[in-house]
Chains A and B, each alone.
Chain A
Amino acid sequence: MKYESVIGLEVHVELKTKTKIFCGCSTEFGAQPNTHVCPVCLGLPGSMPVLNKEVLHYAVKAGLALHCDILPFSKFDRKNYYYPDLPKNFQTSQYDLPICLNGYIDIEVGGKTRRVHLTRIHMEEDAGKLVHSGASIDTSDTTFVDYNRTGVPLLEIVSEPDLRSGEEARAYLEKLRSIMQYLGVSDCRMEEGSMRCDANISVRPVGSDKLGTKTEIKNINSFSGVQKGIEYEAVRQAQILDEGGTIQQATRGWEEAKGITVLQRVKEGDADYRYFPEPDLIPIEVSKEYIEKVRAELPEMPDARRQRFQDELGLPEYDANLLTLEKQTADYFEDVVKEGIDAKTASNWMLGEFAKKLNEEGVTADQAPVRPAALAGLLKLIAKGTISGKIAKKVLPEMWSSGKSADDVVKEQGLVQITDTGAIEEIVKSVIAANPQSVADYKAGKKKAIGFLVGQVMKQTKGRANPGVVNQLLTKNLE
């Protein structure tokens, strides 16, 4: 039978406020264990939470950017359950009156735009981190707890079950990350855990509108993992159904290395979290004025920017799309263009050599040691004919590692293009003399043979000859 997947995502995004949601401890990642803690986030007896203003600000900002309704009256509730990463054994979260309801994200998959609806967004506190002694938490005899992350503000963004494939889920997450980054409310680094995703997935025969039994996939920590985990789970569920089996409602863990999901725990109905209003926190009222104030702060969002890149800079949709996906890339690109570089040239470089380098180094555009003005300097040398594009590809890594300008690298390494036609002609003649077979081929009508001869000339000039001039001179001398 042919099945379709029905997928909803619960995404947790860590907000990049300076301090935690309910206390003044730093949210910085990577500190020594249990050093960003205080009586409040350790849940010591007698301590009390006070809401960080910026958390509400970011939540409203995110809600507006995701087209949500901002609730005029919202409150915090306690979600009660025991786990050692939760010092109070309750998580302060929002239950029946979250800050945002509804909303949507438009995604582009396979050239088509799809609207994914959001159920809600709420604010809550993050839990601590468990470090275990053995291979996994289940097999370890002891566990160590670090509460630095406890109380880092989170937005939980819950989608409707509108997604139909792993690819769509991935596109949704990437778009969500992009929007959060544009807003400046979260870094959304999945590898650092500042963006986390649980996927609910069920399958049903194509054409059916009945929902199947779902499983929840946890432990996904990469965008590709989201896609692969869902695809794996869809196939697994379909197989079970085809074999006449039934799906067990359960939580399953994604094992990236093996590329499989494994059973974590079977759910028998919903856990009894005994939510009730947090008595230590006062309800929140959001005025229309506040909402309008925050709305006025919203930066240009990725969709609008993409459109502008197409309309004003004349970029193809493909380029505009890729350039605007990450805000850092788009910002960098615009800075390069501001230096007087042709937009398409800048785009080709950003999406080509520069992107390759970012990938190799595992950094984002804002972290690249080659700043926009420096890249523009390199591209200007190409435009002026000082170096060829091919040479420029060698110059970029040099600039990257040394921090030097394109000018300096080109001068120091003597990479300036040879434009003296006399000198090039000498080499052209010697190459013709040394390669009679190719010359014969060319004369016999195999015009492609000239490519080999151009290559030989370039080899002898170490790539510094202007390829146009070489071509021209070869043709002339062969006739």
Chain B
Amino acid sequence: MKISAEEIKKIALLSRLNIEDDQIEEVGKQLNDILAYMDLLNQVDITDVAPTAHAVSMRNVMRDDVPQPSLSNEKALSNAPEPENGYFKVPKVIQD
């Protein structure tokens, strides 16, 4: 097994998802199958190979420091689950 039940719980928290205890085995099996397939990559000689993060090889794409119109407060909040007094309201904030 590449990924333990403990790790699944940790990854679920990092992802802000809940995995019920009775789902851990199934989720673990699927992830393990996929990760086992990824072992294929260990066959590749990657010595001195630079990583590619972008499909295009451009540099220095920037814009001028010129103000553009913002959204109105009403529009900004138009999709908010709980708008209040021009703010986005959220439940009690705690650290994980």
Q: Do A and B touch each other in the complex, judged by CB within 8 A?
A: yes
| Chain A residues with a Cβ under 8 A of chain B | 17-19, 23-26, 32-39, 42, 44, 50-54, 56, 75, 82-84, 130-132, 137-138, 140-147, 265, 272, 274, 276-277, 279, 281-285
- Chain B residue, CB-CB nearest to A45: B79
What chain B residues lie within 8 Å of A140 (beta carbons)? 92-93
Docked-complex contact A17 and B65, CB < 8 angstroms: yes
Q: A18 contacts B59, CB within 8 Å? A: no
Top 3 A-B pairs, shortest CB-CB distance? A24-B68, A144-B87, A277-B53
Which residue of B84, B91, B92 has the most chain A CB atoms within 10 A of its CB atom?
B92
B 33-74 contacts with A by CB, 8 A = 53-54, 56, 58-73
> How far apart are the CA atoms of A52 and B65 in the complex, in Å?
6
Contact B68 A38 (CB under 8 A): yes
The interface residues of chain A lying within 8 Å CB-to-CB of B96 are: 82
Using Cβ atoms and an 8 Å threshold, which residues of chain B touch A141? 91-92
Q: In the complex, how many angstroms separate the beta carbon of B63 from the nearest chain A beta carbon?
A: 5
Contact status B86-A282, CB under 8 Å: no
Known: A53-B63, A282-B54, A285-B59. A34 touches B89 (CB 8 A): no
Tell me the count of chain B residues lying within 8 A, CB to CB, of chain A: 37
Within the complex, the shortest CB–CB distance from B84 to chain A, in Å, comes to 7
Specify the main secondary structure of chain B where it touches its partner. loop
Which of A19, A35, A276 makes the CB contact (< 8 A) with B65?
A: A19
* Total A-B residue contacts, Cβ distance less than 8 Å: 124
Residues of B at the A interface (CB closer than 8 Å) are: 14, 16, 53-54, 56, 58-73, 76-77, 79, 84-96
In the assembled complex, the Cα of A447 lies from the Cα of B59 at a distance in Å of 81
- CB pair B88–A145 under 8 Å, yes or no, is yes
Residue of A nearest to B77 (CB): A34
Q: What are 14 residue pairs bridging A and B, where the CB atoms are less than 8 Å apart in the complex? A: A19-B68, A25-B68, A33-B86, A34-B76, A36-B70, A42-B71, A50-B61, A51-B61, A53-B63, A84-B88, A141-B91, A142-B90, A144-B84, A282-B61
A39→B53 contact, CB < 8 A = no
Give Cα distance in the complex from A51 to B64, angstroms: 9
The interface residues of chain A, by DSSP majority, are classed as loop
Contacts of A37 in B (CB 8 A): 70-71, 76
Complex Cα–Cα for A274 and B16 (A): 14
Question: Are the C-beta atoms of A39 and B71 separated by less than 8 Å?
Answer: yes
Residues in B whose Cβ lies below 8 Å from that of A17: 65
* A262 CB to nearest B CB, Å: 15
Contact partner of A34 among B54, B56, B88, B94, CB < 8 A? B88
Contacts of A25 in B (CB 8 A): 67-68, 70
Chain B residues near A83 (CB-CB < 8 A): 93
Q: Closest approach, in angstroms, between the C-beta of B46 and any C-beta of chain A?
A: 17
Could you say which of B63, B66, B73 contacts A51, with CB atoms under 8 Å apart? B63
**Distance, CA A176 to CA B66, complexed state (A):** 27
- Cβ-defined contact, A131 with B87, below 8 A: yes
Closest chain A CB from B67 CB (angstroms): 5
In the complex, which residues of chain A have a beta carbon less than 8 angstroms from the beta carbon of B58? 282
A75 to B76, CA, bound (A): 30
Q: Is the CB of A42 within 8 A of B76?
A: yes
Q: Which of B58, B69, B95 has the largest number of chain A CB atoms within 10 A? A: B95
- CA–CA, A25 to B71, complex, Å? 9
